[in-house]
Structure 1
Amino acid sequence: MADQTRYTETMRRLRWPLILTWAGMLSERVARAFWPLWTLLLLCAAGLMLGLGQILSTDVLWALAALSGLAALVLLARGLWRLRIPRREEAFRRLDGTLKGQPLQTLRDDQVMGQNDAGSAALWAAHRDRMARQAASARAVEPDLKLSTRDVFGLRYVALMLLLAGLLFGSIWRLGDIGGALPGSAQAAVGPSWEGWMEPPLHTGLPTVYLGDIDGEVLHAPQGALVTLRFYGPEGRLELAETVSGRVGELPSASAPAQDFTIRQAGQLAVEGPGGREWRVALIPDRAPSVSIEGPGEADVEGLFSMPFSARDDYGVAAGKALISLDLAAIDRRYGLALEPEPRAPLEIVLPMPLTGSRADFTAALVEDFSQHPWANLPVTVSLTVEDALGQSGRSEGYDMLLDARRFFDPLAATLIEMRRDLLWNRENAQRVTQVLRAVRWYGEGLFPNETIAMRLDRLIGKIETIQRFRPLSDDQVARVTQALWDMAIEIEEGDLADARDRMERARQRLEEAMRNGASDQEIARLMQELRDATQDYMRQLAQQQAREQGQQQGQQQGQQDMENAMRMTQDDIQRMMDRIQELMEEGRMAEAQQALEELQQMLENMQMTEGQGGEGQQSPGEQAMEGLGETLRNQQELSDESFRDLQDQFNPNGRSGERNQGEPGEGQEQGQQQQGGQGQQQGEEPGQQQGQGGQPGQGGDQGSADAEGLAERQRALRDELERQRGNLPGAGTEAGRAAREALEEADRAMRGAEDALREGDLAEAIDEQSRAMDALREGMRNLGDAMAQQDREMAGQQGEAEGDNPGQRNDPLGRNAGTNGALGNEREMLSDEEVRRRAQDLLDEIRRRSGENARTAEERDYLRRLLDRF
């Protein structure tokens, strides 16, 4: 009796697990029996929601419906035939099978043997107690609903995916369309239906309009809007009537279920038939864009041309271009421009468009560098054209102006650029170009900064003349010649500020030595003029360098004007002091002239300090890199000059290099040409190919080889030094820093080529490679300067604080030491009145220069201007 009670109590606790297990078994058998049926039903529902009822004809639709209904009945009967309702005993066995030792069946069993044995009875009771505890932990068995063994093709998942697609992209209300095909149905009484959308062009940014929501009679539509209409129901009951598309020719049927057209004009739009609607379409016109030039283009010191313009459109400008043509009537047709110009297509430059913001009304600037174009600094006519997204265009009126480009102030550089322009104007000017260049070469003593450029010009003249004797210059030859002229002009114009400073210092030392030694008046006058020329050259290059830096770093016209004014005042002071020195020497007051010359030296030293931004304190890595590259450039220049002198020695073995450098500039040229003419040198033949032909046998052979080997070793040392400097180059990660590294890599390759040419004894090739190396070095220094300027702009806010550090350890421009507690003092004797006046002038110049630097804060510049107004 106790055993039966324990079993009943256990089964009462396991009632819900047993019921849930039975329900799971029932769901398994229902799914296995009816999965084909609900798969078919899902497929039918998905097809209706996706619009299958509107695509198929009524007959085909009802045929498919009949087949689907018959298949559903067959699958239902099949499912009912296979369905077996699970019995309670089956659920009992499944639940008991999930437990260890089948405890439910044990509780149901009775003891057969040993019932009268107390030990056996106790053992049986303990066993049942253990089974009862284990049965108490029973949980409902989860059903196995996997149908992969029966649905091997996954048809149920396909049906489910199509149903989801119908819910997302179709409409659940289309499920009722199947009843609309029944004769006499309610849907048939309602009549046909339609849908329509108006989609404005993408560039307008307007939203799509559902025509069914437009209750008014007027429909405002932008030009180019796309109208889409769909007619549902029996074909022919609804028709389209419209006069807005302007379509002609063969048109689709007005009762076609699908209608698509674009609105081109105002008119009427109607859906005629039961439930139709009519609108009067008011067209929103898309006006053509417009563009205008806001002012003449101007170029900065580096030749970067900038021309402002403004453009407008109701929805936004899509693209634009500038058309630049030569204004031949406005050109002064003299000299090299007297011939008719070679035909050139007008320049087409893409106009910059704003990357962010609205393009409906904006102002921008066309920025290009036309310095190397044949029309640079010539009158041109500029017209701008812009387009919108519909292809409509607007054009500005022709604007006459100069195609402003880089200006060259050095006379020799300006001459080379003018000859380059004449050759690009018409290649028949080649003879005139060579004549002018030969005249410059013959009478241009002192114009050439170094012998290498003079030799390059000689070779270029000879090359042009040789080609002209046989045929006109080809396009490729014109391009190479004009590029060579441009490179030489850039090298001459930019020059080397350090070389100019060295020439000025040497001229001052020679003048001072002549005054001490009591040289003749003619000698002193000559040396004084030499100092004047060297100083003017230094001042000019210093002004141009500062103008370039000012234009690159700030781009402000007012700051550049202040800098030029300050430089002009400093140059005037130097010229007045030189006039005073010459006056004292003419009067025989050599002691006073010597003292004035020392004062000039001090002023020049102060200028060098200003050039170097104070010249005190620890140099930054960028400044150290610039200084090292400048030293490498000077050494390369000296090595190139020595190579040139050795090459001259090969053509004139009996002459002396020093005498030739002091002689007439055309002497070596004539001698070299005579030798070249005697050998019948043709185009492209290098002078280095005639080594040893003009001298006596056995003269200069071993010595020349030794000299070439020594030059090669020096070239290798320079290349090693450049390699070291490249490893410590700042500005990594910036565009200018990468450009600097690429330029220095090009310089390294050119140095390697020069070294190989020197070892082979080909001095002409070595000089060409050395020239390429110097050009690449200058380009690398310019790019490095841009990288440093960018870093300075990023740190402009810290500049004022950096200048105020350690006030007790810096002297002011008057030579006084600012004390630690604000007191002014000096450990040296006070300066003389003349020194005070000079230092005061230097201070004023420095204040004026700093007041024009827009990189400084507005408060600091305002303070500096107040100082200028006061003093």
Structure 2
Amino acid sequence: MRRIARKCAVARFNLAVERLLPGLLWPACFVALYLALSWLGLFHAVPFALRIALLLLLAGGFVAGFWPLRRFRNPTRAEAERRLEGENGLAHQVISVAGDRPARETPEAMALWQAHQRRMAEKLGAIDSGLAHPDLSSVDPYGLRAVPALLLFVAFFYAGATGSGRLADAFLPPAEEEGAPVLALRFDAWISPPPYTRKAPVYLQAEGADQIDAIPEGSMLTVRLSGEGADAPISFTPDEADQAQAPDEAEDGELMRSASFTLSASGVLDAAGRQWAIGVVPDAMPVIAFKGEPKAAANGALELEYTVSDDYGVTAARAEIAPAGDVDEDAKTLYPQPEFPLNMPSRSSEDHSAFTSRNLTEHPLSGKPVTITLIAEDAAGHVARSAPFETVLPARPFYNLLAGSVAEQRQIFALDTRAMPEALQYSAAITLRPEETIPDLTQYLLIKSAQTRMLLARDEESYRDTADYLWEIATGIEDGELSEAERRLREAQDALSEALRDGASDAEIAQLMEELRQAMQEYLSEMAERMQPSDMQQGQQQALRQRDLDNLLNQLENLARSGDRAAAQQLLSELQRMMNNIQPPSSMAQQGEQQNSEMREQVDRLGELIQEQQRLMNETFELDQQLRDREQWGDPPPDQNGEQQGENGGERSPQEMTAEELREALRQLQEQQQALSEQLGEMQQKLSELGMPPAEGFDRAGEAMDGAAESLGEGEGSGALEGQGNALEALRQGAQQMMNAMMAQGQGQGQQGPNGQTGWGSHTGRDPLGRNPGADGFDFGNDVQVPDEFTVERAREILDAIRERLNEQAPLPSEPPYLERLLEPRSQN
């Protein structure tokens, strides 16, 4: 009964809340409206009469809102019981039964009544009074109660940030309102950093006396005063205002004043009697410098590697190229100084380094002494220059003497138009005996037509047309159709690079990517027609290069479409570097193709010989190691049939052989060692026929191989290992001597041109994609360290120590598996 009484009390409270809250809704809404209007400053802004009328309206609404409460009555216990029965789904007035008594109190009736009470009590075991559910829609069917709530929420945060209004503003008399101009003053001030800093604006608090530091130089400080007292002075020391407005009268009778300052140094802002100390951080100068010396690619393109950095990033960088040495100030040049825009470093670059490659061989300054200066500019307008570097601007290598002569004539008058007579003398000299110097009639006619243009040239435009015509003749004689394909490829690369720097649209980028693919395909096709591969291996290398270039183009397009234009620009620069290092074979270089093919064949045989000697040494080492084990520990036990068989019934591994079988296996390696010695002798004979000088390393290698073969014939593994190690070292020394001789004779990977570039490789000794040619080229395994005699002996001592530990009486339980794994032989890759 006590539990039922408590539940009934809660139910009566819930019923009272449900009846009371709808009646209090409208008074609460009027209170919320008063708070919102006060915090928004409306009572302070409107005239006194309107303020009183508004206040009376809110007060009347507040009082009238209590009118529905006149019908309020407290819930009864019976209503509470009915509420409990409804909340818990009880029927037959279960709660009332607990307090009732039977009409007749006979023993039979009392027993029946008590049984009925017990059943009702079971139903009341988990009774719940529930929660109040006031029906506000009955008094506000249109949901107008949300308007005061929303206004109260906005006004609370607005008043907290600005302090615009107070609750007492509605009760201020007119005299007190007019006598408080300071309360009417509104202060707004903020600092807008330059957009390139990517920093958020800084807002100044109205109280003043703030210390604001780390403001970037060039930020804009804006101050705005409104209301009474807005005519107060605004100043920033030491700077003066860039734009200050005199007090103006607004429509509502209030004053407004604003001023703006460009912050170039630290100072103090003074406005309306309040001060703020503002610390300005000067914008640092960019830093740019060469990371290494300028280099020339295989096709004569200029390659620059540099570092560039700035506190907020560099917006533009370029290389300034000017003639060096004795320069005639009165010379009339045809072309302006070459343009060389620089790429920006990638975000992942730790040292802020970048690389740019550009082909300037068409400019008349190519092949002349120049001064290169790197220039960087940031968004603040600061310009930094590197230390000048004097070098010779790379020129295009002309293997055809006639093509080089035509290019030289163009260069003479392109650098100074006054030297046109000298250029004409050079041109006339090569046409004196055309049957000896110009075997091709078409080339002779082209040169004669160029002479006519040189004679008729009068103004700058005709001079430039003549220079362009001579360059086309020179490149046509040298490369034929390939020069035109190379020009289109260069133009496609430059157009894509410019579009990436200027932030072109995705559609334009996709179109330029397609043009680059077509130009590259045409260039590679023209190059493939000029090639005469000596074997299938070279063709496979070219196919691999084409596949790698396709992958790079796909990656470049994906980066451009994803929005990472900086990474795409960097990858395009690497692609240009690769293409610049692909130098097609010239007509003169093709004359030595057969000899170079035979030389490459001997180089390949030498690489295979070194690999085979390394494999034979590994096999000898394994057999000798097992033989020493047999001599110390004895032969392995035979199987159940008394015979020793291999694991799969085939050849037995050295671990399963007896000592005598291991010695026999070492003797069988003698034939292989002698065969390698004979191959080395044949290779030396062939190199001698090709005009290569004898290499001392090969002679020592042959002697060491013969000594190793003799030791193998006697079953002595240690002596054979020493001879094989000496043979490997001598082979590598001989290979290095042969390479030095080949480079001295200009018989490396291709014929060298005037600038020292080779035909099909770059000057760095790698292929155009920057890869080591490997065993198919000139990789003789110099990075592989051959174990000397001391290392071999030390390895044997370690193995013996492991076996002794394994044979001890009481090793740790975890040791045997570990020691056995250490003794397992590893396959030699």
Normalised by the size of structure 1, how large is the TM-score? 0.46
Kindly indicate which of the two structures has a greater share of residues assigned to helix. Answer: 1
